[in-house]
Structure 1
């Protein structure tokens, strides 16, 4: 068994909400609070949310976390 970790990031648009919602629908769980920061290079606000998921498989760096 392994606990997987992902940090989802996106500009502050509905795309970020959809990315997090998709992960939750696939069994990932929120981990901690979301973050919000200004990206000066692009002049936009960015969001981040960590998620975790426990799976039956052993962890491998070759895993495609978004497909778990």
Structure 2
């Protein structure tokens, strides 16, 4: 079964650490990162899709993706 997550956050080191943590837990980058700028708040936000193959499980919407 393939799992999918879309990580988002402010463009700072904590976002990079979240992506790094996912990669070290076996998730793989899927596609290019995305960026958007909020002119009201003056902040840039990042998004990165990640996927992971998990064997022997059936999909259930209650799966806690961050714990996989």
Superposition TM-score, scaled by structure 1 size: 0.92
For these two proteins, the number of residue pairs brought into alignment is 67
Alpha-carbon RMSD across the aligned residues, in angstroms, is 1.0
Q: Does 1:63 align with 2:63?
A: yes
Question: Structure 1: any 5+ residue segments left out of the alignment?
Answer: none
Equivalent in the alignment of 1:45: 44
Structure 1's 41 and 62: CA in aligned 2 closer, same or farther, altered over 3 A? farther
Question: Structure 2: any 5+ residue segments left out of the alignment?
Answer: none
